[in-house]
Structures are given as structure tokens and as C-alpha cells.
Structure 1
């Protein structure tokens, strides 16, 4: 439990502060630094590309350094970069720093996957990964508190310094706790009948797994749809509510989204450990599909339901899929495949944002976009049903090792 909480704190640092805090502080920084919405768009593009690069680098970095050292490097880099945002006044330099923070965030999550799949027993792996992944939702909540109580009193620069100080605390705590893991044996994360894949997959074997192994291929397909539907949903939600003249719904919807993510992080992981990953995936996908369906039908009436559905799937799904993959792959190979999953998610998010912009430009409305996202969530539900069918058909069988 202590290890999971520590890794969740690293997720708050890397994703909550490093990836999402800037957009929340943008209105406060805009006048002081002369920022424009073009700068905000540039930040979105740069950070997405940097996160993609970080996800792609995990496979290489995992061969060179253990996950324990990678997460310490990520925490150190995030702390220093967060502090620099308090003193930098040039927008171009700030964009570069934010891109580096996104790169570090991707490395952080890959390291979390590697550590948990190595040291946490299989009957608790899904719970630990899901809870650690929900650190992003806790980051949403902390950011909200900062905006409500801290920024109005002390300003945005002090806020960046406070997050950097929190990062140093997380770094020191991680250094102390991770030292206690040295010398511990790897935990057997698969059933005794199953032989795991080699510790490290070469590039050829990695892409072979993606193309030929059911578990790797299905997980990447789900990651892509998570990016396409979830990232696009959240990225254009405020714009859609503004189009409908319902901007007052934005704040409560985001609050509900964060709270549901916090609760789902614990509950969904326990469900996966007790009833299986496919069952947990089905519950998440079904809730998400229903919420998007009713939201596309009446966005004003069901905005809060959409927030609940989003939080139900987006925050715990990363841990659920990583734990599912770890049943047949070694910790390092799981890191590599999770990196590919993040790449697939980023590609899905990029595709969704492109389609959203196209729909907005051609129709002048986002109504068709959310109908499309609801259809995409239906495909996601179909993939969850395939997972469940495979779980029932192969309760004691796994894919052949590479």
C-alpha cells in the first residue's frame, strides 16, 4: 500500500502538475506574459508530441536503466522544470519546458508499470496499478484546490514554486522508499502453468507481438480508442458547452470527473483482482458507452453523467491493461508494451482532435463529433466483450511466448 501511494504521488507530480496544471493557470499567466491562444495551441501540440516521444523511448530506456532509477530521474527532472516555469518569462522557453515535462511524465508512468509488475503480487497488481494511475485524478483535485485557495492569494509564480517543492519532497520520499526494494526478488506475476516472455523484447519481437499476439494487439487497440474518445472528449468539452451556452456546467462536470476517477482508481482495480481484468474492462466500457450515448442525446441534461463515465474509465484503464499484459510478459517487456500503448493512445488522441477540428470547421458545431465519440465508445465496449469471451474460453491458457 505504501509503495502504491508513493507511485501515485509521482503520478500527481508528473501528470497532475507537469501535464495539466499549465492549462489551469493559463488565464492567470496570460496577461503577465503576453500569452495568446496560439501559445496554448502550441503547448498542446508540443506536449502531445513530447509525450509520444517519451512513450516511444521507454522501450530503449528500460533496457539501459531499471525502473527504479527512471522514476527518480523523472521526479528530479519534473521538480526542476516546474521551478523553472516560475522564473521563465519567454513563451518559447516555457513551451520547451512544458514539452520536457510531458516527456518526463510518459517515462514516469512506464516506470510505475515496471516497478509494480516486478514487486507487487499478481493478486494485487491490478489494484496497485489502477490506484497509482488514478494519481492523475488526484492531481486534478489538487490543481482545483490551488486555483481556489492558493493562486488568488499568492499568484501563479508562487504556485509553480510550491509544486516544485512538492516534487522535491516526492523525490526524497521515493529515494528513501525505493532503496528498501533493493535485493528483493521479482514476484511471480503469472500462474505457475505459464512461462513468461523474455525479460527484454527486441524491436523486432516487440512489433511482432503487437501484430501477432492477441493480448498485445488487443491492448493497443483499446489504448487507441481510449485516446480517440477520451482525449478528444475532454479536449473539446468546454468548447462544446460554450457552443450550447452552458459554460456554467464546465466546472461542476470537471469536478465530478475528477472525483469519479479517484473512486474508480481503487474500486476498478479491486474488481479486476477479484473477478478478472476482462470483467473490470467490461464494467468501465459499459459505463462509458452509456454515459456518452446519453450525453450525445442531451448534453445539457447528462453532462454530469458523461463526467462520471469518463472518470470511470480514463484513470483506471491504464493500470488495468498494464496488469493484464503483465500476466504473460516480464516487467521490462510490460514497460515496453505499455510504451507502445501510450503511443497508440497519443495517435488516437491526435486523430480525434483532427476529426474534431474538421467537423467544427465544416459544420460549425460539435454535435456530430460527440455522436462519433459515442460510436467509438461502442467499439470499445465490443473489444471489452472480446476480452471477456477470451477470458472464458481460455481460463487456463495464454498466448505462446515469443
Structure 2
């Protein structure tokens, strides 16, 4: 009897070891992906915005140049979102992610080596682009490594990576700037980014996240399933109702969220008469909350569903905008900032979580890649509209009215989405053929 039990014991031990290895791999990949977003989003333009005054004094350029560089960075974001989507479906998401982080680190190191503002502008434009191309393949990678029931919290944490990058900036900037060494600051964050890139490349190779011959062979053996997750299927997603809703939502996210953040300080100081200390406190609260909000709401979404979590975030966003319109007095703008932080960072993790739980493979990459493009277009249009309304009415308040209306539309669109992982949200699913891994995902959702 004991001898017959031995094979079962060995199998159990192997199963336990396999699960432990998967958990460790998931943790390592989560940390790396979060650090990628921290580097590409948190450094680059966010660092440039913090030390632009010191760079201007040293290099002698004006705010017209700053505005031109900012616009070029947004253009770089859109171009790299397209390029990252195209490359991910051909050479693999792992290669695109690591390549983007490596390019980011290289630009960060090269930037302080020149006094030419033209070259600095080009490097910052590329940095803005790497923020897009590193984000596009995240859905694919998370779908390959992270269990269905944990994807919301993981993508929520990754979406908060920007806050961690900005936090690192806030620790480094005073030390370097006080010594008049803004160039050393760029070198430091660049060297750190390149070190993370090296660790990531080694880890991705060990975990098999770079496409190789084995994967190509496996995909060829599952030709019927491959058709459903191919890039060609992904580009046909314009015919799928929920995908169009997701793209529209991301456009409105860019249209509402980005201007809310960009014009908050000018509105508080110039429009409402608050001093710089109070405005800084509001921003500080947004930054600290942002470091934890993405993970917390992502964790919640794995339990109550992505759609319910999105509706909650848009409700908080609506209240935040309304407070700045009807009662921007006393301590209420701080409450508005807190509510904004609780909604803003999670939103950018919840949408990819929905995509990751509904479709896999190249189709997921294409869908999410297009969302980055629509979000960028929405951000550009939103910033322009906010500036136009300010010139027309003399106040930023009216754009916060527009933001409140946009959040109502976003909440309505969210309720029109099918439940993530349900048959209604499956891409290219037929009676006989299902997306690889989708059956398991739907089973998780149903359970």
C-alpha cells in the first residue's frame, strides 16, 4: 500500500514545486513590469518637468521651447504606440518591452552629454515614445505569466509605477539640484534603468518570455487556435462591439484625466486663489495615494469584477470634478485631489485588466495598443479644449464641468461592457475553436 502511494506523493511534490515556481515567477515579473513603468513614465518628462528651471538657467532656452518639446513628446507617444503594437505582433511582447526600457535608459544617459536643446528635445521625444511602447505588450505578458484571478491587482500595481518613479525623483532631485548637478541626476536614473534592463533580459530568458523556435513550433501545431489570436484577428477588432467601447473609453480617459491633472495647479492658484503651499500639498497627497491606489483597487477588481471597479472609479472621479466646480473652498479641493488619486491611477490598470481577462495573445496586444493611441489623441484634444475654454471664459472651471459630463458617459459605457472573461467578450471564438487559455479563463470567471 505504501509503495502504491509513492507515485502520488512524488506527483504532489512536483505539483507543489511547480506552483511555487509560478508564484515566484509572477512576483518577479510584476516587480520588473512596475519598474519599467516607473522608469519610462516616472523619469523622462516627469523628471524634465521637475528640473526644467535648472536646465533653462544652464542652457538658456525659453518656455516656447519647453512647450514644443512637450508637444513632440506626445507625438512620440502616439508613434511608438503604433510601432510597439506592430512590433509586438511580429517579434514578441517580451522583446519590445525590454528593448523599450533599454532605449529609455540609453536616452537618459545620453541626454546630459549634450548642450544642444535640439538633441535634448529629440531624446525627450524618444523617451515619451518608450513610455508607450513599453506599456503596449504588458497585457500579453501578464496573460502569459499571471493567473487569471490575480491579473487585476498585478496590472493595478503596474499602473501605479509612475508614482514610484516620481517618488524616486522627489528623493533624488533636491540632492543633485542643490549641488548644481542636474546632469548627474540624468546619469543616475539612466544607469539605474540600464541595470534593471539587464536583470529583466536575464529573467525573461529564464522564464521563456522571449519568443523562440519552441513557441513557433507550438503555434504551428495549433493553427486553428492561432487564427483567433493572430495580429490579423486583432486588427479586425473594430467589428467587435465591446472593443470599440474600450477604445472610446480610453479616448475619454485621455480627454478627461490628463487635463484634470495638468491644469489642477493653475486652477487652484490662479483661478481659486490658493497659495503654492496648498497646491503642493494637494499634489503630494495625489502622489502618495497613487502609490497604493492601483494595487488596492486592482485587488478589489479581482473580487467584485473589473466593471464594478471601473464604475466605482468613475463615480469618485465625477465627485472630484463636481467639488472643483460647485464647492472649491476651504479643504474641499484637497478632498477632490484625494478622490482623483483614488480613481486616476486604478483606471489605467483596470482597462488592461479587462482586456487581459477577455482575450489573449496577439489580439490582446493589438487591442491594448490601439487604446494607447486613442488615449493619446484624447489627451491632446482634451488639453487643447481646456486651453480654449480658459481663453474663451477666463476660467478653467468650465473644463471641469466638461470632465464631470465625460465621467457620466464613461460610467454608462462601462455598464455596456460584457462581463470580463464571459463568452460574450471572447474574441474570434467559435463553437469548435476557442482562444488558447480562454476556456480556463472563462472557467475562472464563472467560478
TM-score between both structures, scaled by the size of structure 1:
0.90
Instruction: Trace 1:277-296 onto structure 2 (pairs within 5 A).
Output: 277-296=306-325
Q: Determine the structure 1 residue equivalent to 2:24.
A: none
Instruction: Trace 1:9-88 onto structure 2 (pairs within 5 A).
Output: 9-88=35-114
Query: Does structure 2 conserve the Cα–Cα contact (< 8 Å) formed by 1:117 and 1:326?
Result: yes
Secondary structure of the corresponding residue to residue 59 of structure 1: helix
Aligned-pair distance for 1:231? 0.6
Query: Which among 389, 393, 398 is matched to residue 368 of structure 1?
Result: 398
- For each residue in 1:233-269, what CA deviation from the matched residue of structure 2 results, as whole angstroms up to 9, or x when unmatched? 1111222123133233221111111122111111111
Q: Determine the structure 1 residue equivalent to 2:256.
A: 229
Instruction: Trace 1:239-318 onto structure 2 (pairs within 5 A).
Output: 239-243=266-270, 244-246=272-274, 247-301=276-330, 302-318=332-348
| C-alpha RMSD of the superposition | 2.2
Q: Determine the structure 1 residue equivalent to 2:378.
A: 348
Q: Find the aligned partners of 1:62 and 1:400 in 2 and give their Cα distance.
A: 18
Aligned-pair distance for 1:82? 0.4
Secondary structure of the corresponding residue to residue 416 of structure 2: helix
1:153 lines up with 2:183 in the alignment: no
Aligned-pair distance for 1:5? 1.0
Aligned-pair distance for 1:225? 1.2
Aligned-pair distance for 1:296? 1.9
- For each residue in 1:33-90, what CA deviation from the matched residue of structure 2 results, as whole angstroms up to 9, or x when unmatched? 1121111111111000110111112221012211111122112111110011212211
1:182 lines up with 2:208 in the alignment: yes
Q: Find the aligned partners of 2:123 and 2:427 in 1 and give their Cα distance.
A: 43
Secondary structure of the corresponding residue to residue 20 of structure 1: helix
Q: Determine the structure 2 residue equivalent to 1:111.
A: 137
In the superposition, relative to structure 1, how do residues 71 and 396 fare at CA in structure 2: closer, same or farther (>3 Å)?
closer
Secondary structure of the corresponding residue to residue 35 of structure 1: coil
Q: Name stretches of at least 5 consecutive residues in structure 1 with no aligned partner.
A: 187-194
Aligned-pair distance for 1:230? 0.7
Q: Determine the structure 1 residue equivalent to 2:359.
A: 329
Q: Find the aligned partners of 1:10 and 1:170 in 2 and give their Cα distance.
A: 8
Aligned-pair distance for 1:183? 7.5
Q: Find the aligned partners of 2:203 and 2:82 in 1 and give their Cα distance.
A: 28
1:209 lines up with 2:237 in the alignment: yes
Q: Find the aligned partners of 2:410 and 2:335 in 1 and give their Cα distance.
A: 18
Structure showing greater Rg? 2
Aligned-pair distance for 1:396? 5.8
Q: Determine the structure 2 residue equivalent to 1:189.
A: none
How many residue pairs are counted as aligned between the two chains? 388
Query: Does structure 1 conserve the Cα–Cα contact (< 8 Å) formed by 2:85 and 2:137?
Result: no
1:169 lines up with 2:195 in the alignment: yes
Secondary structure of the corresponding residue to residue 157 of structure 1: helix
Aligned-pair distance for 1:133? 1.5
Q: Find the aligned partners of 1:400 and 1:71 in 2 and give their Cα distance.
A: 24
- For each residue in 1:165-197, what CA deviation from the matched residue of structure 2 results, as whole angstroms up to 9, or x when unmatched? 1112211221222122118999xxxxxxxx897
Query: Does structure 2 conserve the Cα–Cα contact (< 8 Å) formed by 1:228 and 1:349?
Result: yes
Aligned-pair distance for 1:113? 2.4
Q: Find the aligned partners of 2:34 and 2:407 in 1 and give their Cα distance.
A: 27
Query: Does structure 2 conserve the Cα–Cα contact (< 8 Å) formed by 1:196 and 1:401?
Result: no
Q: Find the aligned partners of 2:329 and 2:75 in 1 and give their Cα distance.
A: 33
Q: Find the aligned partners of 1:116 and 1:380 in 2 and give their Cα distance.
A: 25
Q: Name stretches of at least 5 consecutive residues in structure 2 with no aligned partner.
A: 1-26, 216-224, 430-447
Q: Find the aligned partners of 1:72 and 1:391 in 2 and give their Cα distance.
A: 32
Q: Find the aligned partners of 1:266 and 1:397 in 2 and give their Cα distance.
A: 27
TM-score between both structures, scaled by the size of structure 2:
0.81
